Amino acid sequence: MRIGVIGLGSIGLGIARSALSAGDEVVGADLSQAQRNAFAALGGEATGDAPEAARGADCVFCVVINAAQTEAVLFGKGGVAETMPEDSVFVSCATLPPETAERLGARLTGLGRLYLDAPTSGGPDKALAGEITIMGSGAAAAFDKAQPALDAVAAKIYRLGDAPGAGSAMKAVNQLLAGVHIAVACEAVAFGARLGLEPSQVYEVITGAAGNSWMFENRVPHILDGDYAPKSAVGILTKDLGIVLDAARTRHFPVPMASMALQMFEMTAAAGMAQDDDASVARLYALIAGLSLPEAGD
Amino acid sequence: MRIGVIGLGSIGLGIARSALSAGDEVVGADLSQAQRNAFAALGGEATGDAPEAARGADCVFCVVINAAQTEAVLFGKGGVAETMPEDSVFVSCATLPPETAERLGARLTGLGRLYLDAPTSGGPDKALAGEITIMGSGAAAAFDKAQPALDAVAAKIYRLGDAPGAGSAMKAVNQLLAGVHIAVACEAVAFGARLGLEPSQVYEVITGAAGNSWMFENRVPHILDGDYAPKSAVGILTKDLGIVLDAARTRHFPVPMASMALQMFEMTAAAGMAQDDDASVARLYALIAGLSLPEAGD
């Protein structure tokens, strides 16, 4: 089938490559020449023009940063809503507020196109391997149309409901947990250091104990290596936890744990580390308390 | 070898049984007749008198609730410090402030006995199977003396330093993470319910995604079953997070994530659930926000 991928960042590039590997005809779009070159180097066709990538596609993955970009891709001047064929399916992968997913879905459906609310989990490596998880919701017709493309790029595809919104709600729950787990992993390693424990020792013991989390296991090695080059940046979590807090406040629902985690990421961003790896929260604790953490090359 | 086990609660009973299964001669002590009967039913010798269990032992496991009980067992009127043989080893398994472990260790060592700071992780099932994790620190002589007994009851034994305190420090780090992970697991399931997601669906998706933690996987089933009979009670975490907060405050070290988690457990205790399972934090969110969570028998 013919697939358009809008946004060739780390996840989008992985999705585009997985679809290509599955034998699909793939056109990728990105404003960055470097990202287009990266996809071209994998044998893909790349363009700087999103509507062009959607023209004639059966399925359009939209893997941009946020709600504003997703809306601009769909309905901005010359948006893909005008160039995607009727009955083709738009697969929205960015983390959006559930209400935004509902609204964009209703508007696109009104134009005779299908919409799938389909945020992802798994990160760049899983995306390249065609093994991301998709938290999907939408009409059965949208799932059916997208199924071969989803099978090409994902290891797990959840059908969480028959309307857009549920997929984004599940992603918000996941990001709430992910954000808190990263913040507390950093707090725990820094606290351990203050108590005289070696961070590497803390990592070894905790990953085999009840205090472990997927994020602890994944992010603490960045602290051990003193490597804060952004695999996923602080700014992603201020954005995603912001969505969580907005969704909670709209409903008058208290989320004190997520709220505290957001403050830790905001403090880290305020200290100049917004573009650095999200494990930089550990460096915030170190900065505040005058701790020494491992440095690159140690 | 001859082993005394002071405290036949869920972890102590498991340790006593594991040592018995390994062929050791084991005397268990507990103030509760029911716990003594439980150990006797497993073929063990039980007494209500802790000093009696320590008399003639090579190794004495102390598996009581907290620092006050540990100190009373050791140095209270007729404490085991007087009945344990010289050169025998006291293995302190309760979660203690690191400073307390240092102080008790120094005092017992001054009396010619060995002391191991040896808090555990793993819970009742692993204790019964002889597969707990021990976060140990103490003199080499104390480790050497205790080694056969430790091998009988634990799957993993960490040697974190040559003095009491490091084991308790690592346990504090683990409890910081465990407490935050339980509180946020409850927050996430309740938030998901507020967004219209089924708790069972949240469990299925999150356990396969980056938001997972050991505690999420272990505790959320209690919420799904509506079963708040205490496998581990809210009161254990108010105690353990209290130790974390005290240790942090003593050192002027900020632990905002742990602090917020403690408040959630205190709120849950204040709402009358101190003796219930620690997943009861989910019921606190439900109570506050008027949510329906699964009930037993659903």
The residue of A173, A206, A250, A253 whose CB has the most chain B CBs within 10 angstroms, and thus the best one to mutate to test that interface, is A173
Residues B149 and B239 in one domain: no
Residues A199, A271, single domain; the answer is yes
Both tokens of residue A121? 């989990």
Contacts of B202 in chain A (CB under 8 A): 170, 173
Tell if the CB–CB gap between A121 and B211 is shorter than 8 Å: yes
Chain B residues whose beta carbon lies within 8 Å of the beta carbon of residue A202: 170, 173
B17 and B150 inside one domain: yes
Q: What's CA B129's distance to the chain center, in Å?
A: 16
The pLDDT value given to residue A78 = 85
Structure tokens belonging to residue A213? 């989390």
**CB pair distance less than 8 Å for B191 and A173:** yes
Which residues of chain B neighbour A258 with C-beta distances below 8 Å?
184, 187, 191
> CATH no. for residue A258?
1.10.1040.10
Is residue B48, in this structure, part of any structural domain at all?
yes
Closest CA to B128 of B219, B42, B56: B42
Question: Which DSSP category does A197 fall into?
Answer: -
Q: Are A159 and A229 within one domain?
A: no
Within-domain flag for B296: no
B17 and B158: one domain? yes
Write out the residue range of the structural domain in which residue B77 sits.
2-163
Its pTM stands at 0.96
Query: Does the residue B71 lie in any domain?
Result: yes
> CA of B101 to nearest chain A CA: how many angstroms apart?
13
Q: Which amino acid is at B73?
A: V
What integer pLDDT is reported at residue B122 of this predicted model? 87
Q: Is residue A52 located within the same domain as residue A187?
A: no
- Is position A60 within any domain? yes
B205 Cα to chain A: minimum distance (Å): 8
**What H or E segment, with its residue span, contains residue B179?**
helix B166-194
d(CA A291, CA B14): 39
Contact A173 B184 (CB under 8 A): no
Q: What residue ranges of chain A have pLDDT lower than 70? A: none
The residue written with tokens 């997208």 in the block is: A146
Q: Are strands B59-62 and B2-6 parallel, antiparallel or unpaired?
A: parallel
The closest of B139, B154, B163, B195 to A176, measured between CA atoms, is: B195
Statement to judge: residues A77 and A205 lie in one domain: no
Interchain CB contact of A46 with B (< 8 Å): no
For residues A74 and A201, membership in a common domain is answered with no
A270: left (phi over 0), alpha (psi -120 to 50) or beta: alpha
Of the candidates B148, B153, B115, the one whose C-alpha atom is nearest the C-alpha of residue B134 is B153
Q: Pick from B140, B163, B186: which residue ends a domain? A: B163
User: Is B184–A258 a contact, with Cβ atoms under 8 angstroms apart?
Assistant: yes
A208 to chain B, any CB pair closer than 8 A? The answer is: yes
Q: Is A124 within 8 Å of chain B by CB?
A: no
- Measure the CA–CA gap between A155 and B279, rounded to whole angstroms: 31
Q: What are B33-72's pLDDT values in tens digits?
A: 999 999 999 999 999 999 999 999 999 999 999 999 999 9
B206 → closest Cβ in A174, A196, A210: A174
Q: Who contacts A147 (Cβ-Cβ below 8 Å, separation ≥6)?
A: none
Q: How far apart are CA A119 and CA A133, in angstroms?
A: 8
CATH of residue B70:
3.40.50.720
B114 with B204, same domain: the answer is no
Do the Cβ atoms of A192 and B201 come within 8 Å? Answer: no
Residue entry with tokens 């998880």: A133
Final residue belonging to a domain, choices B129, B163, B197: B163
Active-site hit among B145, B171, B231, B239:
B171
Phi-psi map region of A230: left, alpha, beta (phi>0 left; psi -120 to 50 alpha): beta
d(CA A201, CA A88): 52
Q: What is the pLDDT along chain B (298 residues), one digit of tens a residue?
A: 999 999 999 999 999 999 999 999 999 999 999 999 999 999 999 999 999 999 999 999 999 999 999 999 999 988 999 999 999 999 999 999 999 999 999 999 999 999 999 999 988 889 999 999 999 999 999 999 999 999 999 999 999 999 999 999 999 999 999 999 999 999 999 999 999 999 999 999 999 999 999 999 999 999 999 999 999 999 999 999 999 999 999 999 999 999 999 999 999 999 999 999 999 999 999 999 999 999 998 7
Answer whether B232 touches A (CB < 8 Å). no
Candidates A135, A137, A159, A212: best to mutate against B (most CBs of B within 10 A) is A212
Query: Could you tell me if A87 and A147 lie in one domain?
Result: yes
Q: Which helix (H) or strand (E) holds A145?
A: helix A140-153
Whether residue A35 lies inside any domain: the answer is yes
| Cβ distance of A205 and B133 shorter than 8 Å | yes
Of A184, A212, A289, the CB nearest to B253: A289
- Choose one of A163, A194, A213: the last residue of a domain: A163
What pLDDT score does A64 carry?
97
On whether residue A273 sits in a domain, the answer given is yes
Residues 6+ apart with CB under 8 A from A164: A92, A101, A102, A104, A105, A106, A115, A116, A117, A137, A138
The set of residues, in sequence order, having a beta carbon less than 8 Å from that of B249 and lying 6+ positions away, is none
Q: Are residues A14 and A151 in the same domain?
A: yes
For residue B82, being part of any structural domain is answered with yes
Number of domains chain A is built from: 2
- Which of A211, A253, A260 shows the shortest C-beta gap to B260? A260
* Per-residue pLDDT at B16: 97
What would you report as the CA-atom Rg of chain A, rounded to the nearest whole angstrom?
20
How far is residue B135's CA from residue B33's CA, in Å, rounded to a whole number?
30
Active site residue A77: no
Predicted ipTM of the assembly: 0.96
B253 reaches A (C-beta below 8 A): yes
Is residue B295, in this structure, part of any structural domain at all? Answer: no
Q: Are residues A136 and A194 in the same domain?
A: no
